[in-house]
Amino acid sequence: MKLEYLTTLGIAAIVIFLGHAIVKRSKLLQKYAIPAPVVSGLLVSIFLSCLKASGAIAITFDKTIMQDLCQNLFFLCVGFGFSTKLLKHAGGKLCAMIAIGACVLITLQDVVGVAVGSAVGMNPLLALQCSSASMSGGVGTASAFGPIYEKMGAEGATTVGVAAGTLGNIMGSLIGGLVAAFLISHHNLHSDPNDKPDSEANGTVNKLDNNRMVSMFAMCLLLAALGMSIYALISQIPNFSIPKFVCCLFAGAVGRNVMEGLHIPFYTPEVDAIENMFLELYLTLVLMGIDITALAPVAGQMGIVLLAQAILMALFAIFVSYNMFGRNYGAAVMAAGNCGWGCGSGPNAVANEQAVMKEYGWHNVAWVLYPSFAVIIDDIFNPVALSVFGNIFGK
């Protein structure tokens, strides 16, 4: 039985409500920053897979267009967060180190993932789904590249990526605190008592406005059209393919900086709200219809690759991130954040840093700059790297 798109969206709404209800009541899920749609989406997909396996009924959803829309608008909003003013405020050297570190980590994750995957007989495209797609990229990027790799012949790539991204969230949370505690203790680091949070001091809350929301939504649609123009141009490059959402991400970044340069007003809180809304709906649509049984043939191989990724992340944070970010207390906090997004998601990075600073003291640059800037670099570089590696191994 195939449900048409409005019924599909209604089911998706139920899944979203269910996910938030479950996470709200689970300290463990909150601790590891597992997104609500991941929790309920996986539960629903398991239930539907069991129904299908029993021979009772097979339920599918008409979600192609809505899923594509949500994906592209979400990544467009991510790109819109990339501002050159952010670079100037934090200082060029640190921003450069963060950007270089992010790109090196993503590349290493893919190289190590494919190498270990090949050693255990895993399809290299599935190994990529257990590498930067799900580690640095999280569930969202893994879900986006899953269908692309499946078209290249990697059956079950979406399911593998989603499972790896979910486990990565847990890995990143466990590794981050341990890495920071080791660095702080080993190097006898201390926070600056004069370094205090600015945003918490004033206690202000950004209020959403209806007119601004409509204006920003229209802007997102316009920039998405610009992204399709970029996609049309890049598609002309021989023997190279890139997902549409990457072009939307670039369009968002271009639009943001052009508007800043021309002093055209825009409203970040509304864009953030649009981003979160489409991310939740996108993850829900992806997860609630996947076939969990597809994991069985590669579960052992996936576990070995993920163990290698966890070891890589811990070593990278201790020996590379800490040294690149300044060899001080702030660098230790950012190393914990690096473990967060490097094995799962931006919220994981925020949660890791928050936990470290609650125990050892505040660091404003690490809190304000690192998670958002590192994730933006990741969201720009990672899809490009995955497209390049995908084209190499998908032939």
DSSP state, 207?
Answer: P
Residue 154 and residue 136 in contact, taking contact as beta carbons nearer than 8 Å: no
CA distance 27 to 165: 20
pLDDT, greater one: 205 or 381: 381
Q: What is the mean pLDDT of residues 7-26?
A: 94
pLDDT of residue 89: 63
**Which range has the top average pLDDT, 40-54, 77-91, 261-275, 300-314?**
300-314
Q: What is the mean pLDDT of residues 85-113?
A: 88
Tell me which residue range forms the domain holding 172: 2-393
Give 2's strand partners: 60
Enter the tokens of residue 212. Answer: 């601004």
**326 φ/ψ sector (left φ>0, alpha ψ -120 to 50, else beta):** left
CA distance 86 to 133: 26
pLDDT band at 291 (very low <50, low <70, confident <90, very high): confident
DSSP count for the chain of H helices, then E strands: 19, 2
pLDDT of residue 204: 55
Enter the tokens of residue 357. Answer: 């600073």
- Indicate if the pLDDT at residue 184 is higher than 80: yes
- Indicate if the pLDDT at residue 33 is higher than 60: no
What is the reported pTM? Answer: 0.72
pLDDT band at 222 (very low <50, low <70, confident <90, very high): very high
**Which range has the top average pLDDT, 78-87, 251-260, 363-372?**
251-260
Q: What is the mean pLDDT of the chain?
A: 87
CA distance 369 to 371: 6
Residues 125-179 pLDDT 10s: 999 999 999 999 888 789 889 999 999 999 889 989 988 988 887 788 788 888 9
Cα–Cα nearest to 36, from 380, 312, 337, 287: 287
- Indicate if the pLDDT at residue 203 is higher than 60: no
pLDDT of residue 347: 67
pLDDT of residue 205: 57
Count the domains in the chain: 1
Q: What is the mean pLDDT of residues 386-394?
A: 90
CA distance 371 to 377: 10
pLDDT of residue 132: 96
pLDDT band at 345 (very low <50, low <70, confident <90, very high): confident
- Indicate if the pLDDT at residue 201 is higher than 50: no
Contacts of 88 (CB under 8 A, 6+ apart): none
How far separated are the first and last CA of the chain, in Å rounded? Answer: 35
Cα–Cα nearest to 372, from 76, 70, 82, 71: 82
